[in-house]
Structure 1
Amino acid sequence: MLEGISIKQVSIYCPESVINNQYFIDHFQKQGIDIKRILKKTGRKKRHVIEGTKENSLTMAINAAQQAIDAASLKSADIDLILFSSSTPEYLSPTNSLLIHKAIKGKDDTLCYDLNGNCIGMFIAVEQAARTLYDDPDRDRALVIGSDFLNLWADPSHPITYSIFGDAAVALILEKDHSESGLIDVRYLSDSRFTEEIVYPAQGLAKSLRDGAEHRYLHWGKFSGIDSVRFAEVSIIELLNKHHLTFEDIQVYCFSQFTLANIKLLQAKLNLDQHKIIYVADEYGYTGTSSPFLALYCAIEHGLIKRGDNLLFWTLGSGYQAGSMLWRY
C-alpha cells in the first residue's frame, strides 16, 4: 500500500450548455434511426457540451485546476507535479500540462507531462502520481487533470458517438500527508483484440497529415465494453481477498460511466449494494478519461464519503485496457 497519500481535493468544470435526450431522438429520427434503446442502455438523460469555439479540453482543464487549487487553500507554488490526461489534447506540442503550468503560474521545478491512456488515462495518471509522491522525498503534491472534449470528434450520423458523450474536466490534488489514506492496490488488463474498433485518426496520423486521409470523426466499430465486466468481477474479488476486505468494507464504487447496462451487470454479478454505486452519466454524459473521478466528485459533494473509507474504482479505455483500483480515502 502507498500509505500517506491522500486525495486532498477534487474539482470539476463543465460547459454551461446542457442538451437532453429529445434533441438526439429528433436528430436521428430525421435519419430514420431510433436511438431510444441506446439511450436507455447507456443511461443517458442529459449531457454538458461545449458550444462555440472558445472552449476546449485545455481551457476546461485550466478552469478545473484553478478551482482545485483554490478549494484546497493552496498556491500554485505548492504543486510539485502536474499530470494531464486526455484523448482530445488541444496540443501535441508543447505538452498541455506545461500550458496548464503557465496558466496557474506554477513554480520552476514542477514536473509536467501529458498521459494518453484514452478513457482509462486519468485512472493511470492518478496511480502514477501517487507512486511518484510516495517514492520522491522532494515532491509532496500532485495535480492530476483529466479533460476530454469528446463531442469534438462525435459523428452526427453515428447513433452512439453523437448521443452519449459529455464534455468535462476533473482536477484532483494528491497530497503526501503521512495519514492512513493511500492507494491500496491496483489491477490491469490489456486485451488488444479490440484495437481496430475505436480509432482516431481513423487511418492514423501520418495518412491524415501527409496523404489527406479523412480524419474529422472518431471511428467507432463494434465495442460495448461488456468484455471488461468479467475482468472487473474477477479483479475486484482478488483485490478484496488479498487485503482481507469484504464488500461491506467498501463505502463507494466509482465505476466507468460508459454504460449503465455494464454497471448493472457488474452489480448483479457481485451482488453489490446499489446505493454504494455512483452513477452520474445521466446528468453529465460520458466524459471519457475523467468519468470515474467525476463520480468520486459527486460522492464527496453529497457527503457519501468520509476519511478512512475504502473506495473501489473500475474503468476501461479503447483498445481495450481496463483497471480496478482500491483506495483508502
Structure 2
Amino acid sequence: MTTLGIAITGSGGATPDTSLDNDTLSQIVETSDEWIATRTGIRQRCLSGPEMPLSDLAAAAAREALEMAGLNPSEVDLVVLATSTPDDLFGSASRVQHSIGASQAVAFDLTAACSGFVFGLVTVAQFLRTGVYRNAVLIGADILSRWVDWSDRRTCVLFGDGAGAVVLQSTTEEEGLLGFELRSNGAQNKSLTLGYEPQAQALVEGLEVSQGNYGRIAMNGQEIYKFAVKKVPEAIEKALFRAQLTNADLDWLLLHQANQRILDAVAKRLNVPSEKVISNLARYGNTSAASIPLALDEAVRSHQIQTGDTIAASGFGAGLTWGAAILKWGGSV
C-alpha cells in the first residue's frame, strides 16, 4: 500500500459568548487580577451557560474549518473529537458528525486531556497516510467549567471553555506532519485529576454496586509546572529530530495554553524567541484539548501563520500525557 502524506487545509474555532474577567472572578474567590495575571498570564476566560452542549461548540468550530478548506461535509470520511468533557459519557463525536452534515463519516471520541489534540492529530494521520480515509475533521473541545471547583482559587482561575478544529486531507504532495513524539506516565497520574467518586448502592443482600459521580478538578500546580518545562522541550526536540529539522527551522512554537510561565520557560529552553511563540492565553485561559487548535485558528485568520510555515505544536496535561508534532500549515484564508 502506498503511504500518503497529509495536508492541514482548514481551521476553525468557537468560544461561548460569556466571558469572566479576573476582577469579576475576585468576587467569587479571594484573588485579584494582579495575582492571576502575574502567575498565569490569564486575564479572562469564556464560560458556557448551563444549556450549551459541548457538541454545539465543537460543531461550530468544525464548520469554520470545513469552510476554510472548501470541503463539503458529505466528503468527510472521519470525525475525531478530542475531549475530556463530552455531553454523554458514551461520547459526543457522533452527535457532532450529524450536526455538521458529515453523513458518510465515521466518528469517535478520543481522550487524552490537554494533550488530546496532538494525540488526535497523530491518530488521524495514520488513517490518512494508509489511504483508508481521504478527508478528516479533528476537533479539540472542552467545557471544563462543568468540573471546576469554584471555591478553589488555585484551579478555578485557570480554566475556560472552547473548541478548535482542523481539516486534514491525504495528499501525494508535500507532507504536513513532519515528525511527532507521544508520551505517557501514569506514575504521575495524581498530579492532575478529575476522579470518579464512588458511592455504594445495595441491590440485594450481599450485593452492592457503585452509583457515584465525578468530582472536581484537582491539580498539583508545582508538579505540573516542573513536568511541563522538562518534558515538553524534550518531546519537541525528538519530534524535530524525526522531521530532520532543528529549532532554527521553526516559524512558530504553539504550545498548549496552560500558563504563560510555562510557555516562556519552554521557549527559553528551546532557544525560540518570544516573537515566535503563539499565545492567546490572556483571553481564553486553559481550554484543554481546544487550546492548540483555537490558538492556531486565530493565528491563521490574523495572517500571523502563512501557508508553508513550520510549526512545533505540543500538548501536555493529565494522565500524565504529553506530545509534540512538527506541522507545515497547508491552508489559506
TM-score, reference length from structure 2 = 0.88
1:90-239 pair list within 5 angstroms:
90-93=87-90, 95-108=91-104, 110-137=105-132, 139-203=133-197, 210-211=209-210, 213=212, 215-222=214-221, 223-239=223-239
The CA deviation at 1:242 is: 4.5
Instruction: Give matches, 1:57-96, under 5 Å.
Output: 57-93=54-90, 95-96=91-92
CA deviation string 1:187-239 (max 9, x = no partner):
122222221232223436989x9545463422334543321221222233333
1:123 offset after TM fit, Å? Answer: 1.1
Structure 1 residue 114: Cα displacement = 0.8
- Aligned residue for 1:322, secondary structure, equals strand
Distance in 2 (CA, whole Å) between partners of 1:4 and 1:215 is: 40
Percentage identity across aligned positions? 23
Cα deviation code 1:157-209 (max 9, x no counterpart):
111321111110112110123221321111122222221232223436989x9
Distance 1:317 1:189 in 2: 11
Bigger shift: residues 252-261 or 99-108: 99-108
Contact 1:189/1:231 (<8 A) preserved: no
In structure 2, what residue type is equivalent to 1:156? W
Cα distance change, pair 176–244 in 1 and its aligned pair in 2 (3 A): closer
- Quote the Cα distance in structure 1 between the aligned partners of 2:102 and 2:44: 35
Secondary structure of the residue that 1:145 maps to in structure 2? strand
Whichever residue aligns with residue 48 of structure 1, its letter is C
- Where 1:119 maps in the other structure, the secondary structure is helix
Q: Distance in 1 between matches of 2:200 and 2:219?
A: 20
* 1:35–1:159 CA contact under 8 A, matched in 2: no
Q: 1:35 to 1:154 in 2, by over 3 A?
A: farther
* Cα distance, 1:154 vs structure 2: 0.8
TM-score (norm 1): 0.89
Aligned residues of 1:202 and 1:219 also touching (Cα < 8 A): no
**1:312 alignment partner in structure 2:** 312
3-state SS of 2:24 partner = helix
CA deviation profile, 1:233-288 (whole Å, cap 9, x unmatched): 22333333444423221111110111111111112222211111001110111100
**What is the CA–CA distance in structure 2 between the aligned matches of 1:301 and 1:240, rounded to whole Å?**
26
CA 1:106 to 1:203, structure 2 compared with 1: closer, same or farther past 3 Å? same
The answer for unaligned runs of 5 or more in structure 2 is: 202-207
User: What secondary structure, in the 3-state scheme, does the structure 2 residue paired with 1:173 have?
Assistant: strand
